[in-house]
Chains A and B, each alone.
Chain A
């Protein structure tokens, strides 16, 4: 039980930091990329999306204590749902942008497609695998 609480508290803190970074960078209007992470500087993905990542962090932190209690677990689950939502939109956007071929033809080449889907990724996409842990706890509680 304690392990789950510590895990989601930590994940919450990291998610909160990512959301805050998204917001700050989008307010500054700068695009930021480091190693496999990139933070968009636009108000839609960075600002609006960053705000949702921030909310996800708050859900995780508020639900981390006593995680087997159904109300607490539902907050953690909501945090994960928000991450899935943002990451899902990011993944869809990458795929839809990588398929058309632009000036060179109707469809992109395989290399071009894979290049479009390659890192760096937005923070929510990197948080996605970590957010899936909630499924284990849902199964356990149910």
Chain B
């Protein structure tokens, strides 16, 4: 037996009349607060406040562990111990494992077991932990869907819809789950635009943690450049990439108390990723950069790319080395930049360049898993964006009289 569409609807009506009883709805304070956080007029101040909460707690927590304890431990105990106990002071192995024998802090030493461990454990670990804790709390309270509703209009301007805020926020922790989360977007165009923007303009938690540590005063300007670049590039990509960006219906759940077990489980799963993927990558990154330095490759590349870096981007040619490291780990690259002598605006430009330069290896592999076409397309956009946007940042500096 087959029913027509009208007959089906009639049947649904009949069944629902017989089975569903509508009770009286009484609005609660939680419901009204939920509405307030969705309406633009009242919701936008709440977004501004939530972001403040996020960054303030991020800064306090990461600063407490890094500045309060880890810097002291690594600089006063860990580094001197390795410097005095590792044999063959001037040998290549010493350079790779311990780093510069004259360095008096772990950021400058740049050895695998000194800077590598300091960056991974001393700086990135507290930053990543607090980031994921805050993200999980926002998720479990039920605020993220409301943020998606609020951002829907703005994100439509760049060919995405409100839920694109989820991969963006996830990428602020690590680009890898961010790229994986682009699968919640419906069309190929949306996924391509999102992946490209994540790979170029969204710094990961590790990078944010180290930026907070080495350039706290100018971090706001770096982030402002990245936000402008995110929207400007998205706007252009929306115009030139063929395809559709459909409307979606969003289900907004009521606010609820987060369950400790769920929060703990989510944080554990995300932190496990960090321990198994990020820490080996940081150590491997330091190893490879040191080997490339010892082989003279980075010095050769620096002199070859010098005109582009010095005249077009306005940064010292020594920044080529960190840019190579950025392909392995961007946090590592920012740490390397911090010991190069340059003006504050050159540092801002260099950190923006590190951020928008090639995605790190883990993200690169993730993009590859989404398909060759997507990867090559994203890389083509990236090369154009790095060249144009890097030059733009330099131009702004010249016009403002600081570059």
Interface string of B35-48 (1 = CB under 8 A from A): 01000001001101
> In the bound complex, do residue A100 and residue B32 qualify as a contact, i.e. CB atoms below 8 Å apart?
no
Residue of A45, A49, A78 with most chain B CB atoms under a 10 A cut-off: A78
Q: Determine how close the nearest CB of chain A comes to the CB of B78; give it in whole angstroms.
A: 14
Q: Does A18 contact B (CB under 8 A)?
A: no
Q: Chain B residues near A49 (CB, 8 Å)?
A: 52, 56
Interface string of A67-99 (1 = CB under 8 A from B): 000110111011000100110110011001101
Q: Determine how close the nearest CB of chain A comes to the CB of B325; give it in whole angstroms.
A: 29
Q: Chain A residues near B300 (CB, 8 Å)?
A: none
Take A78-B42, A138-B29 as given contacts and tell me if A48 and B52 are in contact as well, using a CB distance cutoff of 8 Å: yes
Q: Chain B residues near A74 (CB, 8 Å)?
A: 29, 32-33, 36
Residue of B29, B49, B52, B53 with most chain A CB atoms under a 10 A cut-off: B49
Q: Determine how close the nearest CB of chain A comes to the CB of B21; give it in whole angstroms.
A: 25
Q: Does B61 contact A (CB under 8 A)?
A: yes
> In the bound complex, do residue A92 and residue B48 qualify as a contact, i.e. CB atoms below 8 Å apart?
no
What count of chain A residues pass the 8 Å CB interface test?
Answer: 32
Interface string of B267-300 (1 = CB under 8 A from A): 0000000000000000000000000000000000
> In the bound complex, do residue A55 and residue B29 qualify as a contact, i.e. CB atoms below 8 Å apart?
no
Q: Chain A residues near B68 (CB, 8 Å)?
A: 96, 99-100
> In the bound complex, do residue A52 and residue B33 qualify as a contact, i.e. CB atoms below 8 Å apart?
no
> In the bound complex, do residue A51 and residue B69 qualify as a contact, i.e. CB atoms below 8 Å apart?
no
Take A44-B220, A52-B48, A78-B46 as given contacts and tell me if A99 and B64 are in contact as well, using a CB distance cutoff of 8 Å: yes
Q: How far is the CA of A77 from the CA of B49 in the complex (A)?
A: 14
> In the bound complex, do residue A89 and residue B69 qualify as a contact, i.e. CB atoms below 8 Å apart?
no
> In the bound complex, do residue B56 and residue A93 qualify as a contact, i.e. CB atoms below 8 Å apart?
yes
> In the bound complex, do residue A78 and residue B36 qualify as a contact, i.e. CB atoms below 8 Å apart?
yes
Q: How far is the CA of A99 from the CA of B69 in the complex (A)?
A: 10
Q: Does A43 contact B (CB under 8 A)?
A: yes
Q: Does A106 contact B (CB under 8 A)?
A: yes
Q: How far is the CA of A92 from the CA of B54 in the complex (A)?
A: 13
Q: Determine how close the nearest CB of chain B comes to the CB of A9; give it in whole angstroms.
A: 18
Closest B residue by C-beta to A45: B56
Q: Chain B residues near A52 (CB, 8 Å)?
A: 45, 48-49, 52
Q: Does B104 contact A (CB under 8 A)?
A: no
Question: Which label, helix, strand, loop or mixed, suits the secondary structure of the A interface?
Answer: helix
Interface string of A3-43 (1 = CB under 8 A from B): 00000000000000000000000000000000000000001
Chain B contact-residue range equals: 20 to 34
Q: How far is the CA of A80 from the CA of B60 in the complex (A)?
A: 22
Contact among A43, A77, A92, A96 with B29 in the assembled complex (CB-CB below 8 Å): A77
Q: Does B57 contact A (CB under 8 A)?
A: yes
Q: Determine how close the nearest CB of chain B comes to the CB of A93; give it in whole angstroms.
A: 5
Interface string of B62-89 (1 = CB under 8 A from A): 0110011100100000000000000000
Interface string of B5-43 (1 = CB under 8 A from A): 000000000000000000000011100110010000010
Contact among B27, B49, B59, B72 with A85 in the assembled complex (CB-CB below 8 Å): B49
> In the bound complex, do residue A89 and residue B56 qualify as a contact, i.e. CB atoms below 8 Å apart?
yes
Q: Chain A residues near B67 (CB, 8 Å)?
A: 100
> In the bound complex, do residue B69 and residue A106 qualify as a contact, i.e. CB atoms below 8 Å apart?
yes
> In the bound complex, do residue A55 and residue B48 qualify as a contact, i.e. CB atoms below 8 Å apart?
yes
Closest A residue by C-beta to B42: A78
Q: How far is the CA of A75 from the CA of B220 in the complex (A)?
A: 30
Q: Determine how close the nearest CB of chain A comes to the CB of B62; give it in whole angstroms.
A: 10
Q: Determine how close the nearest CB of chain B comes to the CB of A66; give it in whole angstroms.
A: 14
Q: Chain A residues near B53 (CB, 8 Å)?
A: 85, 88-89
Q: Chain B residues near A142 (CB, 8 Å)?
A: 29
Q: How far is the CA of A138 from the CA of B53 in the complex (A)?
A: 24
Closest A residue by C-beta to B32: A74
13 new A-B contacts, CB < 8 A, other than A86-B52, A100-B67, are A49-B56, A52-B45, A52-B48, A52-B52, A74-B32, A75-B36, A82-B46, A82-B49, A92-B60, A96-B63, A97-B60, A99-B64, A99-B68
13 examples of A-B residue contacts, CB within 8 angstroms: A48-B48, A49-B52, A52-B45, A58-B45, A59-B42, A75-B42, A77-B33, A85-B52, A86-B49, A96-B60, A97-B63, A100-B64, A100-B67
